[in-house]
Amino acid sequence: MTMKFEEKLEDKGSLAGRSRVHLDGMHQANGKPIANGKTDGCGKQEANGQSNGLRESLNRYTWQEIQRHNQENDQWLVIHRKVYNVTDWAKRHPGGHRVLNHYAGEDATDAFRAMHLELDIVKLYLKPLLIGELAPGEPNQERNKNSQLVEDFQELRRTLEASNMFRANLWFFSLHLIQILILEVLAWLILCHFGNGWTVTLFISFLLTVSQAQSSFLQHDIGHLSMFKKSKWNHLMHKFVMCHLKGLSANWWNYRHFQHHVKPNIYPKDPDIDMGPLFLLGDSQPVKYGKKKIKYINYEKQHLYFYWVGLPLLMPVYFNLQSMQVMYLRRYWVDIAWVSSFYIRHFITFGPFYGIFGTVLLIYLVKFLESPWIAYVTQMSHIPMKMSTEENRDWLSTQVLATCNIEQSFFNDWFTGHLNFQIEHHLFPTMPRHNYHKVAPLVRSLCTKHGLQYVNKPMLKAFGDIIRALKKSAALWMDAYYE
């Protein structure tokens, strides 16, 4: 498959082809877009009244004008040279309002394409938000971005789409789900046959831990709309896997995780790196805390208490409590009903053997055992990488600088849920994970062409790099704190 991709690229002459993907038909049938918000004094929009494909007259803006609209109460963004006012729409955005706010005043073309599945439907929501377009002579993206790199990446995506790399193999995901259900049923059958002794309890806890970890990876796939062609089926299956099988809110995960994807390792936009006051990450946050003489805990030891706080408590305490809090405060009644079914199922299945209190202990024992697994897999690709405040980089650079890959093997693929291909996943979130290894050589080639470091390391080294990164950040805090 890789050879076929490379042959296609050679036939095109370069990654930067002349064809471009545009969102056509972004206007109302009468030729006049409905604007949400002011047009910043640039005049009224006029239409030529024709529906034969002639270009409509739109307000034209420079990047300097667009970049001024980057506040929570004033948000413009650009998609394929079209300017949209998303201020009022942000509160109703299915992916959460913060995702749009993170791109206010910027070109969001590649982020928009990466995060959405059914573009025809999404276009319907964009139509009334259209207020203009980039003025002639303005580049497709901000001037600080490498236009050739952007063109090359967009050409790569078109090549992958033409090669069906975004088409899921349902057998792959079905077998993954069957694996999870078999482990759940097997745990119950063993309990029925052998009783609830300590040895049996520990063994079924191990089986349920594997089931829960693999459920985490499967819900991650479905949350990114990579299983079915239709978003609605992905959303429904996501409720089943995340809420019913794992007991966590799907909406909470989506709103949190999508922020991480569009702005990875960018403080404070990525919630995954905002771990203060418990952990200080990167280079700037420790120095900031140190200069302000902030010492909630002894950060000098953070690489040590990562083992007995960060690893075991991520799932049973931090994620679980945050999920419950968000469901309650935002009144996610559907998620609450689905999550309730998780606990009801466990009480029906394990209650006769352990009672209500014992079943609750079993649930949280499994979450406790699962937590280090998920913590290592999710943190090894990001904590050791570059962290910064907003630098407004292009999509490719933003993702590659903040992520790294882990060497491929059958075990690594299974153990990480294919998140050992974190770079490919971040570049193409809706791509089914069974295709990551096919596109990785092309991504590496593109990175090499543009001088971006494509990091690929052994898994054990990646685990160790988490601790080394925490020690480095702690040293920066100490230098600033005691100076």
**pLDDT single digits (tens) 158-175:** 999 999 999 999 999 999
Q: Classify each residue of 293-318 as buried b or exposed e, where b means 16 or more C-beta atoms within 10 Å of its C-beta.
A: ebeeeebeebbebbeebbbbbbbbeb
Among residues 407, 435, 460, 418, the alpha carbon closest in space to that of 217 is found at 418
Cα separation, 316 vs 371, whole angstroms: 7
Strand partners, 457: 406
> How much is the pLDDT for 56?
55
Give the three-state DSSP class for 392.
coil
Length of the chain (residues): 483
Which is it for strands 130-134 and 60-61: parallel, antiparallel or unpaired?
A: parallel
Cα separation, 52 vs 463, whole angstroms: 59
Cα separation, 173 vs 221, whole angstroms: 9
Cα separation, 212 vs 187, whole angstroms: 12
- Residue 377 neighbours by CB distance under 10 Å: 22
Segments of 355-478 assigned E as strands: 405-406, 456-457
Measured in whole angstroms, the distance separating CA 379 from the mean position of its chain's CA atoms is 13
All structural domains of the chain = 60-143 (3.10.120.10), 146-482 (no CATH)
The one-digit pLDDT tens for each residue of the chain (483 residues) are: 444 444 444 444 443 333 333 333 333 333 333 333 333 433 333 333 433 343 457 899 999 999 999 999 999 999 999 999 999 999 999 889 999 999 999 999 999 999 999 988 998 999 999 999 999 999 999 999 999 999 999 999 999 999 999 999 999 999 999 999 999 999 999 999 999 999 999 999 999 999 999 999 999 999 999 999 999 999 999 999 999 999 999 999 999 999 999 999 999 999 999 887 899 999 999 999 999 999 999 999 999 999 999 999 999 999 999 999 999 999 999 999 999 999 999 999 999 999 999 999 999 999 999 999 999 999 999 999 999 999 999 999 999 999 999 999 999 999 999 999 999 999 999 999 999 999 999 999 999 999 999 999 999 999 999 999 999 999 999 999 998
Contact yes or no for 158/85 (Cβ under 8 A): no
Contact yes or no for 245/342 (Cβ under 8 A): yes
> How much is the pLDDT for 243?
98
CA angle, residues 105, 262, 410, in degrees to nearest 5: 160
